[in-house]
Amino acid sequence: MDNTPTRLSLPLTGGCLCGAIRYRITDAPYDAEFCHCRQCQRATGGPVAAWMDFRIEQAIWEQGTPREYASSDQVRRGFCPQCGTALTYRHTGYADLLTLSIASLDQPDQVAPRYHLHTNSQCRWLTLVDDSPRYPDSRG
């Protein structure tokens, strides 16, 4: 199985399921990860979330903007208010950073996660075959 991302073509574009929200990213993400935490599982409805990280000024909302939900004291999760698509993760302690769902890209094969976070919450029935580093909690 080839999990090599396709050649990155900038700008990156994406949006929600219904098309009410569209965005453009002007530069490559500085990082990308899989998250297996229970909050990401519940917020996305999947066993794992794939995220990519940017400086907030790199994300341009071209149509609509996500509505945010405070999933904890310091975390805001953005979603489309029309279709519910999970789009963003934002930690209020890092106001200059924004995390976007890789799956919301028009061409999600362009960005590949580099590691797994919160594997202590990974669903036991999910088998992932890759050589990426795994962290039981966060990386820090």
Domains of the chain plus CATH, in order, are 12-121 (2.170.150.70)
Query: For the segment 28-65, what is each residue's pLDDT rounded down to a tens digit?
Result: 999 999 999 999 999 999 999 999 999 999 999 999 99
* Angstrom distance (rounded) from CA 60 to CA 22: 9
Q: What pLDDT does residue 4 have?
A: 58
What residues contact residue 71 under an 8 Å CB cut-off, 6+ apart? 39, 43, 77
Residues of the chain with pLDDT under 50: 1
Number of alpha carbons in the 13 Å side-chain half-sphere of residue 17: 9
